[in-house]
Each structure stands twice: as C-alpha cells, then as structure tokens.
Amino acid sequence: MEFVFVIPRPSLFPESYPHGFRFFDAGSSDDKVETETTAEAFAACVREHGFFVEREYAERTPALKQVIPYSLVVRQGAAGSPEVLCLRRTKAGGEARLHDKLSIGVGGHINPVDMQVATAGPDSDSPTQGHSQERDGSDPIAAATRREVAEEELSIEGPYTVHRVGLLNDDSNPVGAVHVGLVQVIAVNGPVAIREVDQLEGSFVSVAELRRLDSTGANFETWSSLLLTELDHLVSIPANTTGHHGHNSEGEVLTACH
C-alpha cells in the first residue's frame, strides 16, 4: 500500500484554479505569467496543510492535490547554449499512459520516507549529502527530489542546484485533476546517467531541438507540453538566480532521445 503527500485543493488554490504553468510571483515586470503566490508561500502551505493518504484514495479524490516535484535538468552545452534532459518512457515503465511519451520533467510522488529523511537531520557520513533544506527537518519536497532525481531515476555526478520556479495545474483530465506539479530547474555541471535504464532512455538536447520535436508532432506528456512555451525563461533561471544545492556520485553516457 502506497501513501502519497497531498494538499487540500482549497488550501492550495483558495481563490481560483489556474490552468497550465505559472511562475511563482516574484514581483517582476517582464512578460512571464505568474501565480498569485510566492515560492515561500507555497512552502508554508506544504508545511501547514499537507498530509499523507492512501494513493488509491487520492487518485479518485479531486478535492486533494497530490504534490509532484517535477524537475527539468539543465546544463550548458558544448556550444555554450543551455541543453535540457529529454527522456522517453519505455513500455517497461509502470504507468501505461506514459509509455513512449517524451518528457522534460523528472520526479514523482512524495512518500512517507521523504518525511522521515527530512526529519532525520544532516548525516555527515553520507557521501551524497547536499545542503540547504534537503534534510533540515522541514522540507519533504527536497528529500523527494533528491530521492527521485539523484538516487532512483538518475545519477548526477558532482554538485547540482535546485531552483523552484512555479506550479503546474491541469484540471482538464482526471489524472491532472488530482495532481499539482512543483516545477523546478536543476542545474548540473557534471555527467548525468539514467539509473532506470529498463524504463527510461534519453539525452540532453537543445531548446531548438525540443521546439522542432514539438512542431513535428512528437508525443510529449501533458505536463512537459505545457512547459515547452516557457523554455527560454526556464533555462535562463540558473544563470540569474541562486538555488538549493545537492550532490551525488556516479555518471555515464546517456542513450539517445529520438
């Protein structure tokens, strides 16, 4: 039996239900579409209103939103331009609705183990220990990000930086109606490898290539398709802001993303 982390819909969206991707409110004057909340306010909502329920119940209860850390992994390419990790979910993966779909987001549900890690405190003996909020007793999202991105799905060699940038919401279908995505940009400098090679394949590609894939009808999963129009803003974030840091070891060459 799996338990997942949820937030009551009225606590998360007290005034309106946004559709698509919205950057956190940063008081900026550019043309980004922003939420009516800040990253800090969202973190406070997680602490004050979040709890765990059985996943089976959560999947059929739109009054609850399952929080999914959804991370874009970004690096500087050889030509100096940003590249984004593009993944394809193979038919060996667990969720049939995602088979053969392309994704620029990595992540999954927050589970009780992430709360246990978050409350355990810093572990100086861990060679993959990051700093900031990852294990400071208050942030299961950071613990879930580390588990999913740097320990289960991928292996990131060397330091990486996590930037929390906004929320993804799509109530147009039954799956989206019970989930909300916390969009993050993870900036990496070292090699990145896929751990779940039986379920995932992929490579780093340019923003231009992602746009080409989209324009030619590539089968992106819904959340990734909602982020494609904001790629220029998203890939520029690591160069313009600071974020939370982490570290992992191991790294290999990725397989091709077609």
Encode pLDDT of 212-229 as tens digits.
Answer: 999 999 999 999 999 999
Q: What is the CATH number of the domain that holds 113?
A: 3.90.79.10
Average pLDDT over residues 94-98: 60
* Residue numbers of the domain that contains 240: 3-248
CA distance 72 to 182: 11
Q: What's the sign of the alpha-carbon dihedral 203, 208, 210, 215?
A: negative
CA distance 254 to 193: 6
Query: What does the DSSP 8-state code read for residue 25?
Result: P
Are 207 and 77 a contacting pair, CB within 8 Å?
no
Is residue 127 a part of any domain in this protein?
yes
Is residue 253 a part of any domain in this protein?
no
Residue with tokens 């398709």, as numbered in its chain = 225
pLDDT of residue 247: 43
Which positions ≥6 away from 89 have C-beta within 8 Å?
95, 98, 99, 100, 101, 103, 199, 200, 221
Residue 171 has pLDDT above 60, yes or no: yes
CA distance 217 to 237: 27
Which positions ≥6 away from 69 have C-beta within 8 Å?
107, 108, 110, 141, 144, 145, 148, 149, 181, 182, 184
Is residue 21 a part of any domain in this protein?
yes
Tally of domains in the chain: 1
Are 207 and 75 a contacting pair, CB within 8 Å?
no
pLDDT of residue 25: 85
More confident residue, 245 or 179: 179
pLDDT in tens, 247-257: 443 333 333 34
Is residue 135 a part of any domain in this protein?
yes
CA distances (Å), 74 to each of 83, 93, 247, in order?
A: 6, 23, 15
Residue 161 has pLDDT above 50, yes or no: yes
CA distance 14 to 20: 17
**Which residues is 51 bridged to in the sheet?**
6
